[in-house]
């Protein structure tokens, strides 16, 4: 993450304004809505340079989906509780709903669309298909992004180690046994 | 104020909403709103979370900001939130989806008073929410007077009819599209207000509108499983034979509709017993309307019955599996019909053997691993073998592809896969050549993806459609001049294994399917399949069965329960696809772990607001909450479920049933503590 000192100050000013409006609304005092603020940013998404003008309130998740039309990343809770929106930011897994797009100037973002290389699926993607590691598929992009990051994280060898490190990604269909099997198989291959 | 916020296009509320109509509230006629009251119908607020206004803006951020500015004034009334507070006004609902809710067989009171051994206890289960990871959503697009709704629905046909009636439009003008569903578990079965709101909003602003529920909305805007209080009395002889079952349930319903969690209905036939009484009462509370959630009725009902049976086994000093075998129901004693097929004893045997049940020391607290208390428990699983009319088409194209289409839905259970598999089998071609198209109201009609009925309803229709396509192909071949089929009747032509050839000849003497199309200048051949249940439904009782075996490990210091091992054995008829069936097994067991140990929606009794309306406070199982799960199937076809010899009943719901009581029984075995109130959280064990 790289925010210049000016950006950060600006960010705090905007956030504070929004909060005070909310507080005033609750107390019944009418307040003129402040106009939204737009910022320009440049980042790399799936290896390509991207320039965006974003409303400073837009999360990275909504910028990816609504502005860049990358619908692979899913919104399950918008609160960082389900993991469906997991993407890689500078090589690490990040919940894209919990971070504002404006904070990612100059960052390197990989989404599930950017995981394959030259038309060849990532080993984790191959393994998920082989092991039927998803049912409805909605949490799957997040599971795969977490699993792909896990391959480069310190993680013990056992199934329980994988279960622990994959527990930030909820799957309501309960594909967990197959997800663990898929990841263990991909770890063997990678 | 909200109207003037930047980017706002419309603010719609009961004061300026268009006229909407209450649709038929009848599942059997395919018109089923989640809630009878139409959104914005009046200015009454019946529960926390009810929609009072909708804001349409250029962007999500602008809409959310404007929503903060909306001011709503209420005349406050005291809500009724708790079941106990409304118990005096409990009433007896008559029927639920055509099933009687209060029945008596024999004389349970006399039988209980004379029984050698009796057990009576109250079991309670909390409000639970489906919480598929995909929140419900609706995108409305008007084209003149025609409406397309891109939906998250388990029932495109039901959505079309219900939306049409609500908006006062002809069904033919409405198109519902829902090719993929990110999980549903029941909360996307009926039409909830957001689908109506997106249509109304799109009309108002004259452009497409997308409406996504937030996670918080998912707790008030698309149903939940009711809280249940179940008083169960069992009477038995010393040899374990049941002489009486009395299952008395109180559930909640809303102020604006009626939905009954029919907990006791399974108790009428799961075991052989001459005296059985089942009663359901409902109380009205200021909470949104409940809706079916994976195994509605069976899931909480079996928690009570199967926990009670475990308690009875201890009173009788009898093995819990043995007690269930002693009381095996050889016929359905309530319906007075034989089972179409039943291999429950085989489930007990398979499950017990794989689990190692014979090594169980029955005394609670007697199995330890160091300081850790180990408990083994089991329970019966069951769910009806439902089947509905359904249709499919199979289209053979000139380029060799085969399209299999139906207005059924796939919410993760594998319908895409199994339909392609059946068509590939019948046509004798590689599954890669099959393209399945589902979830569109323009396609041949199909039932709701609920009630575990999809496999039994749609696969026979798919098979028939594929056979019809081949039959039409043979007739077409018979018309080909100057061909291997010249002067052949269709009956003398064979279409199989991807080739059409004269009967008695080698397949290589014929032509590939698509060549017959090319040489007759036909772009495609369309086979149609429609199947429906018949008189077999009056002759047999269709029911799936299973057995759940659970090992828990309890750390007595912190009362933490870990489910270390589950073995599930199911009799669901023929297994169509071993891989997706096993995944469905995992799915039910994992959700059952949530039911047993963590899921519980908490309301503030002062104003009815939901305290746990997010996925941190409403915990569902994570990967580390399950360890070893073993799924076994008897895999014997049901000879009567369909007339096409497929023999498969569904398995989406049975897999979750019986898990929670098996866990509770294992916890008792580990700790000597009988928890009759779900979920089994550490505070109840300390």
Residue B328 has what DSSP assignment? B
Taking CB atoms and an 8 Å limit, are B183 and A163 in contact across chains? Answer: no
Comparing alpha-carbon positions, the chain B residue that sits nearest to A65 is B60
Mutant choice from B623, B626, B628 vs A, greatest count of A C-beta within 10 A: B623
Judgement on whether residues A77 and A168 belong to the same structural domain of the protein: no
Of B60, B212, B587, the CB nearest to A135: B587
Q: Is B214 on the interface with A (CB under 8 A)?
A: yes
pLDDT at B108 over 80: yes
Q: Is B558 on the interface with A (CB under 8 A)?
A: no
Which CATH number is associated with domain B2-76+132-214?
3.30.365.10
Q: Is B322 a catalytic residue?
A: no
CATH number of B390-532: 1.10.486.10, 3.90.400.10, 3.30.460.80, 3.30.365.10?
3.30.365.10
- CB contact set of A181 (below 8 Å; sequence gap of 6+): A131, A133
pLDDT at B569 over 80: yes
Residues A11 and A2: their CA atoms lie apart, in Å, by 13
Confidence class of residue A34 from pLDDT cuts 50, 70 and 90?
A: low
DSSP-assigned letters across all residues of B85-133: HHGGG-B---EETTEES-EEES-HHHHHHH-SEEEEEEEEE--B----S
Contacts of A33 in chain B (CB under 8 A): 1, 4-6, 65-66, 69
Enumerate the domain spans of chain B. 2-76+132-214, 228-386+537-685, 390-532
Contact B404, B435 (CB under 8 A): yes
pLDDT given at position A190? 64
Comparing alpha-carbon positions, the chain A residue that sits nearest to B135 is A76
Tell me the shortest Cα–Cα distance from B136 to chain A, in angstroms.
10
Contact B407, B390 (CB under 8 A): no
Taking CB atoms and an 8 Å limit, are B412 and A135 in contact across chains? Answer: yes
Taking CB atoms and an 8 Å limit, are A25 and B71 in contact across chains? Answer: yes
Contact A87, A111 (CB under 8 A): yes
Look up the ipTM and state it: 0.96
Residues A114 and A1: their CA atoms lie apart, in Å, by 20
Residues A5 and B242: their CA atoms lie apart, in Å, by 76
Judgement on whether residues A146 and A177 belong to the same structural domain of the protein: yes
- CB contact set of B112 (below 8 Å; sequence gap of 6+): B118, B233, B235, B243, B244, B246, B275
B257-308 per-position pLDDT tens digit: 999 999 999 999 999 999 999 999 999 999 999 999 999 999 999 999 999 9
Contact B547, B380 (CB under 8 A): yes
Residues A106 and A92: their CA atoms lie apart, in Å, by 15
Tell me the shortest Cα–Cα distance from B32 to chain A, in angstroms.
24
Poorest-pLDDT segment among A4-13, B349-358, B470-479: A4-13
Taking CB atoms and an 8 Å limit, are A172 and B620 in contact across chains? Answer: yes
pLDDT at B70 over 60: yes
- Whichever domain contains A170, its CATH number is 1.10.150.120
Contact B441, B407 (CB under 8 A): yes
Q: Is B185 on the interface with A (CB under 8 A)?
A: yes
Judgement on whether residues A139 and A68 belong to the same structural domain of the protein: no
Of A139, A173, A176, the CB nearest to B626: A176
Confidence class of residue B599 from pLDDT cuts 50, 70 and 90?
A: very high
Of B134, B586, B588, the CB nearest to A76: B134
pLDDT given at position B484? 87
Contacts of B6 in chain A (CB under 8 A): 33, 35-36
Tell me the shortest Cα–Cα distance from A11 to chain B, in angstroms.
16
Contacts of A169 in chain B (CB under 8 A): 623
Domain B228-386+537-685 has CATH 3.30.365.10: yes
pLDDT given at position A32? 46
Confidence class of residue A17 from pLDDT cuts 50, 70 and 90?
A: very low
pLDDT at A16 over 80: no
Residues B408 and B412: their CA atoms lie apart, in Å, by 12
What are the structure tokens assigned to B502, written together? 């004269």
User: Which of B467, B462, B395, B392 lies closest to B427, judged by CA?
Assistant: B467
- Show the domain range for A65: 5-114
Query: Helix (H, G, I), strand (E, B), or coil: what is residue A117?
Result: strand
Tell me the shortest Cα–Cα distance from B594 to chain A, in angstroms.
10
pLDDT given at position B63? 95
pLDDT given at position A33? 47
Helix or strand holding residue B164 (H, E):
helix B156-167
Residues B146 and B466: their CA atoms lie apart, in Å, by 33
pLDDT at A31 over 60: no
- CB contact set of B463 (below 8 Å; sequence gap of 6+): B422, B423, B426, B529, B644, B646
Average pLDDT over residues B337-365: 98
Judgement on whether residues A16 and A103 belong to the same structural domain of the protein: yes
pLDDT given at position A1? 34
B446-494 per-position pLDDT tens digit: 999 999 999 999 999 999 999 999 999 999 999 988 888 888 999 999 9
- Whichever domain contains A78, its CATH number is 3.10.20.30
DSSP-assigned letters across all residues of B652-680: TTTTTTTHHHHHHHHHHHHHS----BSS-
- Indicate the burial class of A92 (C-beta count within 10 angstroms; 0-12, 13-18, 19 or more): exposed
Dihedrals phi, psi of B217, to nearest 5 degrees: -60, -35
Of the three residues A59, A89, A114, the one that is the final residue of a domain is: A114
What are the structure tokens assigned to B82, written together? 């708790």
Bond into B279 cis (ω within 30) = no
Contact B387, B642 (CB under 8 A): yes
Confidence class of residue A10 from pLDDT cuts 50, 70 and 90?
A: very low
Confidence class of residue B98 from pLDDT cuts 50, 70 and 90?
A: confident
Taking CB atoms and an 8 Å limit, are B215 and A163 in contact across chains? Answer: no
Of the three residues A58, A85, A114, the one that is the final residue of a domain is: A114
- CB contact set of B370 (below 8 Å; sequence gap of 6+): none
Q: What's the Cα-to-Cα distance from B572 to each of A50, B26, B623, B681, rounded to whole Å?
A: 52, 28, 27, 32
Judgement on whether residues A169 and A98 belong to the same structural domain of the protein: no
Q: What's the Cα-to-Cα distance from B73 to each of A28, B45, B345, rounded to whole Å?
A: 11, 11, 61
Of A28, A33, A138, the CB nearest to B133: A138
pLDDT at A18 over 60: no
pLDDT given at position B286? 97
A98-157 per-position pLDDT tens digit: 999 999 999 999 999 999 989 999 999 999 999 999 999 999 999 999 999 999 999 999
Taking CB atoms and an 8 Å limit, are B622 and A170 in contact across chains? Answer: yes
Judgement on whether residues A21 and A110 belong to the same structural domain of the protein: yes
Q: Is B533 on the interface with A (CB under 8 A)?
A: no
pLDDT at B409 over 90: yes
Contact B625, B432 (CB under 8 A): no
pLDDT given at position A77? 98
Judgement on whether residues A88 and A166 belong to the same structural domain of the protein: no
Residue in B35, B151, B311, B653 annotated catalytic: B653
Looking at every residue in chain B, the average pLDDT score rounds to 97
Residue B252 has what DSSP assignment? E
What total of structural domains would you count in chain A?
2
Contacts of A163 in chain B (CB under 8 A): 623-624, 626-627
pLDDT given at position A22? 31
Q: Is B72 on the interface with A (CB under 8 A)?
A: no
Looking at every residue in chain A, the average pLDDT score rounds to 86
Report the Cα–Cα distance between both ends of chain A, in Å, rounded: 28
Contacts of A58 in chain B (CB under 8 A): 61
DSSP-assigned letters across all residues of B473-525: HHHHHHT-SSSTTTT--GGGEEEETTEEEETTS-GGGSEEHHHHHHHTT-SEE
Chain B residues 102-131 with a CB less than 8 Å from chain A: 130-131
Of A22, A132, A168, the CB nearest to B68: A22
């Amino acid at each position: 993450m790289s925010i210049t000192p000016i950006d950060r100050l600006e960010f705090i000013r905007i956030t504070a304004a929004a909060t005070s409006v909310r507080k005033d609304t609750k107390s019944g005092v009418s307040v003129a809505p402040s106009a939204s603020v737009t910022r320009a940013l440049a980042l790399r998404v799936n290896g390509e340079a991207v320039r965006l003008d974003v409303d400073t309130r837009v999360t990275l998740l909504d910028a990816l989906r609504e502005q860049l039309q990358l619908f692979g990343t899913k919104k399950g809770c918008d609160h960082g509780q389900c993991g469906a929106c997991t993407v890689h930011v500078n090589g690490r897994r990040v919940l894209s709903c919990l971070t504002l797009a404006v904070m990612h100037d100059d960052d390197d973002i990989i989404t599930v669309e950017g995981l394959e290389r030259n038309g060849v699926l990532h080993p984790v993607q191959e393994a998920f298909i082989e092991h039927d590691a998803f049912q409805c598929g909605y949490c799957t992009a997040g599971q795969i992004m977490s699993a792909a990051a896990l391959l480069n994280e310190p993680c013990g060898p056992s199934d329980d180690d994988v279960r622990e490190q994959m527990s930030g990604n909820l799957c309501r269909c309960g594909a967990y046994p197959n997800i663990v099997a898929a990841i263990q198989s991909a770890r063997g291959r990678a | 104020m909200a109207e003037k916020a930047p980017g706002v296009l419309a603010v719609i509320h009961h004061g300026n909403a268009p006229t909407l109509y209450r649709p038929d509230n009848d599942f059997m006629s395919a018109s089923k709103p989640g809630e009878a009251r139409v959104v914005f119908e009046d200015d009454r607020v019946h529960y926390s979370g009810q929609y009072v206004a909708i804001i349409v803006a250029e962007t999500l951020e602008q809409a959310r900001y404007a929503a903060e500015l909306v001011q709503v004034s209420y005349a406050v009334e005291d809500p009724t939130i708790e079941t106990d507070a409304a118990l005096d006004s409990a009433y007896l609902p008559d029927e639920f989806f055509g099933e009687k809710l209060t029945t008596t067989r024999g004389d349970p009171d006399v039988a209980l008073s004379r029984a050698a051994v009796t057990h009576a206890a109250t079991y309670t289960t909390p409000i639970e929410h489906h919480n598929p990871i995909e929140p419900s959503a609706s995108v409305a697009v008007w084209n003149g007077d025609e409406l397309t709704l891109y939906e998250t629905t388990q029932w495109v046909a039901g959505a079309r009819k219900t939306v049409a009636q609500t908006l006062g439009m002809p069904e033919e003008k409405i198109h519902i599209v829902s090719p993929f569903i990110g999980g549903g578990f029941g909360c996307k079965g009926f039409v909830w207000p957001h689908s109506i709101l997106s249509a109304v909003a799109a009309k108002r602003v004259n452009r497409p509108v997308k409406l996504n529920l937030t996670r918080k909305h998912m707790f008030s805007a698309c149903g939940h499983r009711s809280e249940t209080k179940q008083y169960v009395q069992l009477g038995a002889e010393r040899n374990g034979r049941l002489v009486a079952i009395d299952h008395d349930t109180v559930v909640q319903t809303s102020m604006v509709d009626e939905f009954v969690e029919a907990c006791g209905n399974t108790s009428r036939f799961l075991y052989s017993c001459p005296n059985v009484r089942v009663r359901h009462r409902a109380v009205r509370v200021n909470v949104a309307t409940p809706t079916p959630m994976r195994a509605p009725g069976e899931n909480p009902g079996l928690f009570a019955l199967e926990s009670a049976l475990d308690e009875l086994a201890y009173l009788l000093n009898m093995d819990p599996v043995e007690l269930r075998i002693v009381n095996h129901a050889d016929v359905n004693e309530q319906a007075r019909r034989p089972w179409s097929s039943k291999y429950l004893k085989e489930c007990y045997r398979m499950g017990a053997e794989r689990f190692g049940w014979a090594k169980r020391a029955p005394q609670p607290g007697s199995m330890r691993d160091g300081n850790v208390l180990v408990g083994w428990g089991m329970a019966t699983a069951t769910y009806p073998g439902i089947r509905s009319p359904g249709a499919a088409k199979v289209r053979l194209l000139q380029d060799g592809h085969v399209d299999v289409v139906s207005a059924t839905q796939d919410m993760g259970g594998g319908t895409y896969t199994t339909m392609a598999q059946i068509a590939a089998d019948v046509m004798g071609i590689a599954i890669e050549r099959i393209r399945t198209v589902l979830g569109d109201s323009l396609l041949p009609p199909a039932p709701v993806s609920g009630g575990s009925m999809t496999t039994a309803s749609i696969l026979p229709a798919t098979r028939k459609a594929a056979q019809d396509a081949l039959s039409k192909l043979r007739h077409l071949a018979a018309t080909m001049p100057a061909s291997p089929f010249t002067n052949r009747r269709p009956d003398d032509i064979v279409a199989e294994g991807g080739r059409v050839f004269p009967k008695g000849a080698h397949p290589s003497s014929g032509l590939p399917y698509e060549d017959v199309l090319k040489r007759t200048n036909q772009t495609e051949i369309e086979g149609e399949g429609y199947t429906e249940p018949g008189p077999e439904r009056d002759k047999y009782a269709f029911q799936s069965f299973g057995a759940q075996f659970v090992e828990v490990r309890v750390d007595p210091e912190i009362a933490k329960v870990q489910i270390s091992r589950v073995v599930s054995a199911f009799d669901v008829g023929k297994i169509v696809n071993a891989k997706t069936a096993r995944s469905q097994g995992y799915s039910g067991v994992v959700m059952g772990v949530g039911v047993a140990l963590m899921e519980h929606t908490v309301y503030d009794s002062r104003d009815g607001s939901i305290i746990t309306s997010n996925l941190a406070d409403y915990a569902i199982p994570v990967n580390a909450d399950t360890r070893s799960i073993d799924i076994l199937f008897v895999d014997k076809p049901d000879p009567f479920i369909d007339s096409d010899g497929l023999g498969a009943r569904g398995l989406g719901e049975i897999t979750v049933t019986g898990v929670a009581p098996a866990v509770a029984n294992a916890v008792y075995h580990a700790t000597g503590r009988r928890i009759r109130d779900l979920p089994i959280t550490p505070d109840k064990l300390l």
